Amino acid sequence: MNKDRFVQANATGLSTLENIKGADRLNAWIFRMVRPYMRGRILEVGSGIGNISSQFVRNGISLTLSDYSDEYCDYLQKSFSSELLINGVIKIDLADKDFGRKYAYLLGSFDTVFALNVMEHIGDDRLAIANCHKLLARGGRLVLLMPAYPLLYNGLDRQLGHYRRYDRRSMERLLSTKFSIVRIWYYNLGGILGWFIFGTIFREQRIREWEMNLYDRLVGLFRLADRAVFNRVGLSVVGVGKKE
């Protein structure tokens, strides 16, 4: 990603995260979805401004936060400075080719690593998966959530700095490079139409606050829709892998 695109993606990403911050129903839905796979020492990779991190705190679950951005790490430090359930904030770059040496003190330290909407931002996602593998203890789990369906890739993806979108098969191929597959499923059927209309037809360059507020009010219906299709279709694909 060139410098100009990186700066734009960072600005768009921050705006999006700030809009999602107030989407309590959405954030709670995501948390409940991944909660069954969380155990032991937990690391969140790509914590951003702590939207999902806050859900863990609200539910009394301890975890360590991380991000590759100095700005986000500073934000997290200030936001959670007095929170005893946060074990610390670490700057981690999953795309670092010298990961094993730079982060030697973290290797094998966690029982669960989760990265929600992170891998699509990394050019070499296989390297990122390998580095997540290094962070986990034997038997540990990696939980991923990533945007689904390459055909849905549009201007919103580009503005957010996404290299790609995934599907069930590409998620399986990626996870299986280092992990045994526990489960893969789709999430958020209801978001597909909105992403296509606003991002592809109207060619919007960012997710607006009113759009996120409207979506959040409809989360109950979207959860029912996911159940109706048995999580076989959705705007995102979720995967869980185990380190053998």
CATH classification of the domain holding 34: 3.40.50.150
77 φ/ψ angles, rounded to the nearest 5 degrees: -60, -45
149 pLDDT above the threshold of 90:
yes
> What residues does 91 pair with on adjacent strands?
67
Q: Specify the pTM.
A: 0.93
Q: How far apart are CA 241 and CA 144, in angstroms?
A: 9
How many residues are listed for the chain in this entry? 244
- pLDDT > 90? residue 6: no
**Total domains, the chain:** 1
pLDDT at 12 over 80: no
pLDDT in tens, 204-238: 878 888 888 999 999 999 999 999 999 999 999 99
Q: Kindly tell me if the per-residue pLDDT of 11 is higher than 80.
A: no
pLDDT in the model for residue 10: 63
pLDDT at 86 over 90: yes
Rg (CA), the chain: 17
Domain coverage including residue 72: 3-242
- The predicted pLDDT at position 9 comes to 40
pLDDT above 60 (res 4): no
Task: Measure the CA–CA gap between 223 and 190, rounded to whole angstroms.
Answer: 8
Q: Residue 8: is its pLDDT beyond 60?
A: no
| Model pLDDT for residues 96-148, shown as the tens digit of each residue | 999 999 999 999 999 999 999 999 999 999 999 999 999 999 999 999 999 99
Cα 109 to Cα 43, 59, 103, 138, distances in angstroms: 9, 23, 11, 10
Helices (H), 149-239: 155-159, 168-175, 191-195, 209-217, 219-228
Tens-place pLDDT, residues 33-48? 999 999 999 999 999 9
Sign of CA dihedral 174, 143, 182, 103: positive
Mean pLDDT of the chain: 93
In 3D space, the residue among 99, 103, 94 whose CA is nearest the CA of residue 125 turns out to be: 94
